[in-house]
Amino acid sequence: MGKSLTRKIIEEHLVVGEYIPGNEIGIKIDQTLTQDATGTMAYLQFEAMGLERVKTELSVSYVDHNTIQVGFENADDHKYLQSVAEKYGIVYSRAGNGICHQVHLERFGKPGKTLVGSDSHTPTGGGIGMIAIGAGGLDVAVAMGGGEFYIICPKVYKINLKGKLQPWVSAKDVVMKMLEMFTVKGNVGVIMEYAGPGVKNLSVPERATITNMGAEMGVTTSIFPSDEETRKFLKAQERENEWVELKADDDAEYDKVIDLDLGEIEPLAAAPHSPGNIVRVADMKDMKVDQIMLGSCTNSSYKDIATVAKIMRGKIIHPDVSFGVAPGSRQVLQMAAKDGYLGDLLDAGARLLENTCGFCIGNSQSPKTDAVSLRTSNRNFEGRSGTKSAQVYLVSPEVAAIAAITGKFSDPRKSGIKYPMVGMPEKFLIDDSMFIFPKDVKGTAEIVRGPNIGTPPTSDPMPESIKGNVMIKVGDKITTDHIMPAGARLKYRSNVPKYSEFVFEPLDTDFPKRAMAAKEKGIHSVVVAGESYGQGSSREHAALCPMYLGVKAIIAKSVERIHAANLVNFGIVCLSFKDQADYDKLDQGDDIEIPDIKNKLKNSEPVILKNRTKSIDIELEYSYSQRQKDILFEGGLLKYTVKQ
Ligand code: MIC
Ligand code: SF4
């Protein structure tokens, strides 16, 4: 049997373990990326490792999340990041250069390479044939230091694409179709490999939209082959010499094969409040819309902006809507300006937003109370927009454009407007002047630390027994936005004690005070959760800040991949119910004990939780490799790595 493309790239990078799906393996990382919101912590941790330079082929530090700069905090972070980059040999992408994933695809992504990034949408790089994986900042710091990156050796699903997209249907609809089929849970440890005759009908930026939002399925990553389309893209980015042809063997073995006919896909949307709530746009019954946002790392390519501009040309936006446009990169923005598309959009009444994450992370453009907001981004978790009562639908740029004109959520195929076909430009505008390439080969640059730059707290070694309290009980599909909100709170990322005041803010504003008071009395906190705990972002603060507040264990029906890894990295043990029904036998406030947990893990014995309040025992499970156990015993990855 032949090999999948995924297997070929992973085997080429395999340094620890064997390629057996389900096994923990360590792979060599060629490239890393960070963004500012997760980057400061990642670099503080890198500094703590005491290395002289990064050891990767390429590491890039992007500033794209926190550019709102109300107060000094964001700007302090940026200066710190710039100085760290210079000292350790990292490329610095300045604020204004664009969203990390879009810019990385344009300027640095290389077929066949591995990339790990401290952002969950790093799989965008799969569009150009990379194995690109999102992770917590600490894992990225270790990779920058030349350490291997650990994943579960994946199951590989082949998505066999046929046919061609119809007018008014675009790459966003393809990934929403995938979300309809696979949902947002149950795909941990899977890589989606796109193949088949339909692949050639998608350009690299379109493929990147698909692999980007694949993150919402909870998969490890998604990947496309590197073919003539990839060559065209690299050539247009003046990087043709970086192209290599890459594809699966014709007789490759897969864990599942799914056929998907591009020609049969219709305009889709993700309804509130999950990217997995897929509905047909045709069923939206001309719902009145209040806000439309075009942008984010999913849909802000040149093609996306140009398509919308062409639809809007000569039209005026509906008086009841606010329409914001955030191009994905400076390249897209400069080209849209030169080619006249920006003029079309501005003439129509669009509000030009900075080419950053902005609205997508909820740090600006919060809609009005109860608003219906149509967004081309990838996440519509409740409250993420900054307005709890807002109804956010995720849509394609085409659907967004028609809604901006009509003020209604309607089927773009019935708009009466001719569909503008926009191809990929033969040549993109190349201007790398907003990158700072490191010159200081001796690493003597001084690191600049403003008052917003704290020191990363470390946790204590694992206790022999966990004795404490169910400090909070939460339900299913709790996202990292619930655990550690971003938006207006984002600016405290570099200041853990301050940011910790907002742990679980959307669910229970009293949690931080309760947990801290318990910690001061030596009482351990545990969190009880339902299915798919920790969905969404890679932000390690969703583990780091609970750790700071004294959380020692998460007891959940299931935990998502990146968050589970982050919990280990910060010394929080993650246990699941042997019998899912036992979830009902724990309540907030219950006194609990997990006796002798350290030894049980050491000896791979079952763990029993004693609910002292209810006088019942509950059997808990775990599946940790020896490496993960050692990290937990040590009190987290930083201590473990320094010791090594
Ligand atoms: C997101 O889209 O949720 C973010 C903000 O980009 C996060 C990273 C972060 O929280 O800083 C992600 O996707 O990992
Ligand atoms: Fe930025 Fe949004 Fe993409 Fe996250 S999902 S990287 S916040 S644009």
Q: In terms of Cα–Cα distance, which of 524, 431, 538 is closest to 481? A: 538
Which of 35, 68, 119, 294 to mutate for ligand 2's pocket (most ligand atoms within 8 Å of CB)? 119
Residue 450 inside a domain? The answer is no
Interstrand relation of 287-288 and 408-409 (parallel, antiparallel or unpaired): antiparallel
CATH of the domain at 472: 3.20.19.10
| Shared domain check, 559 and 601 | yes
pLDDT at 443: 81
Residue 65 Cα, ligand 1 centroid: separation in angstroms?
8
Percent of the chain with pLDDT over 90: 96
Backbone angles phi, psi at 393, to 5 degrees: -110, 135
- Which has the minimum average pLDDT: 375-379, 428-432, 491-495, 631-635? 491-495
The closest residue, in CA terms, to atom 6 on ligand 1 is 119
pLDDT at 401: 98
pLDDT at 396: 99
Segment 453-476 mean pLDDT: 93
| 301 — pLDDT class (breaks 50, 70, 90) | very high
Residue 488 Cα, ligand 2 centroid: separation in angstroms?
15
| Shared domain check, 257 and 320 | no
Q: Which of 375, 391, 411 is the last residue of a domain?
A: 411
Residue 613 inside a domain? The answer is yes
| Shared domain check, 72 and 219 | yes
| Contact 377 CB / ligand 2 (< 6 Å) | yes
- Counting from 1 in the atom list of ligand 2, the atom nearest the Cα of 361 is 7
What is the model's pTM? Answer: 0.97
**DSSP state letters, 253-320:** --SEEEEEEGGG---EEEPTT-TT-EEEGGGSTTEE--EEEE-TTTS-SHHHHHHHHHHHTT----TT
| Contact 208 CB / ligand 2 (< 6 Å) | no
CATH of the domain at 43: 3.30.499.10
> What is the tens place of the pLDDT at every residue in 554-571?
999 999 999 999 999 999
Percent of the chain with pLDDT over 70: 100
| Contact 213 CB / ligand 2 (< 6 Å) | no
Q: Find out whether 136 and 540 touch, Cβ atoms under 8 Å.
A: yes
Q: Find out whether 91 and 53 touch, Cβ atoms under 8 Å.
A: no
| 457 — pLDDT class (breaks 50, 70, 90) | confident
Between CA 410 and CA 134 the distance in angstroms is 34
> What is the tens place of the pLDDT at every residue in 573-582?
999 999 999 9
Q: Taking the chain, what is the end-to-end CA distance rounded to the nearest angstrom? A: 39
Q: Does the pLDDT of residue 459 top 90, yes or no?
A: no
Q: In terms of Cα–Cα distance, which of 436, 347, 399 is closest to 96? A: 436
Q: Does the pLDDT of residue 441 top 80, yes or no?
A: no
Residue 303 inside a domain? The answer is yes
| Shared domain check, 275 and 255 | no
Residue 507 Cα, ligand 1 centroid: separation in angstroms?
19
The kind and range of the H/E element at 92 are strand 91-93
Between CA 94 and CA 623 the distance in angstroms is 41
pLDDT at 63: 98
Segment 220-249 mean pLDDT: 98
Opening angle at CA 621, ends 582 and 585, nearest 5: 15
| Shared domain check, 287 and 255 | no
Q: Does the pLDDT of residue 512 top 90, yes or no?
A: yes
Segment 95-106 mean pLDDT: 98
Residue 434 inside a domain? The answer is no
Q: Does the pLDDT of residue 540 top 80, yes or no?
A: yes
Which of 102, 120, 357, 381 to mutate for ligand 2's pocket (most ligand atoms within 8 Å of CB)? 357
Residue 275 Cα, ligand 1 centroid: separation in angstroms?
15
Q: Which residues line ligand 1 (CB under 6 A)?
A: 37-38, 65, 119-121, 134, 361, 486, 536-539
> What is the tens place of the pLDDT at every residue in 585-611?
999 999 999 999 999 999 999 999 999
Q: Does the pLDDT of residue 338 top 80, yes or no?
A: yes
Contacts (Cβ under 8 Å, ≥6 apart) of 627: 24, 150
The closest residue, in CA terms, to atom 1 on ligand 2 is 357
pLDDT at 556: 98
Residue 346 Cα, ligand 1 centroid: separation in angstroms?
29
Domain range for 560 is 466-637
pLDDT at 440: 74
Q: Find out whether 100 and 300 touch, Cβ atoms under 8 Å.
A: no
Q: Which of 241, 264, 287 is the last residue of a domain?
A: 264
Residue 60 inside a domain? The answer is yes
**DSSP state letters, 502-527:** GTTTTT-TTHHHHHHHHHHTTPEEEE
> Strands, E, within 560-641: which ranges?
573-577, 591-594, 607-611, 616-621
Q: Collapsing DSSP states into helix, strand and coil, what is residue 598?
A: helix
| Shared domain check, 277 and 179 | no
Q: Does the pLDDT of residue 326 top 90, yes or no?
A: yes
Residue 443 inside a domain? The answer is no
| Shared domain check, 77 and 208 | yes
Residue 486 Cα, ligand 1 centroid: separation in angstroms?
8
| Contact 469 CB / ligand 2 (< 6 Å) | no
Mean pLDDT over each residue of the chain, to the nearest integer: 97
Residue 538 Cα, ligand 1 centroid: separation in angstroms?
6
Q: Find out whether 204 and 128 touch, Cβ atoms under 8 Å.
A: yes
Q: Which of 264, 284, 308 is the last residue of a domain?
A: 264
Q: What is the DSSP letter of 386?
A: S
> What is the tens place of the pLDDT at every residue in 380-403?
999 999 999 999 999 999 999 999
**How many structural domains comprise the chain?**
3
Any idea which ligand is nearest the CA of 98? 2
pLDDT at 256: 98
Any idea which ligand is nearest the CA of 101? 2
| Shared domain check, 199 and 311 | no
Q: Does the pLDDT of residue 455 top 90, yes or no?
A: no
C-alpha dihedral, 380 to 383 to 389 to 395, nearest 10°: -20
| Shared domain check, 489 and 374 | no
**DSSP state letters, 132-164:** EEE--HHHHHHHHTT--EEEEPPEEEEEEEES-
| Shared domain check, 108 and 221 | yes
| 444 — pLDDT class (breaks 50, 70, 90) | confident
| Shared domain check, 31 and 160 | yes
pLDDT at 458: 80
> What is the tens place of the pLDDT at every residue in 270-283?
999 999 999 999 99
Q: Does the pLDDT of residue 156 top 90, yes or no?
A: yes
Residue 612 inside a domain? The answer is yes
| Shared domain check, 232 and 297 | no
The closest residue, in CA terms, to atom 4 on ligand 1 is 537
Residue 40 inside a domain? The answer is yes
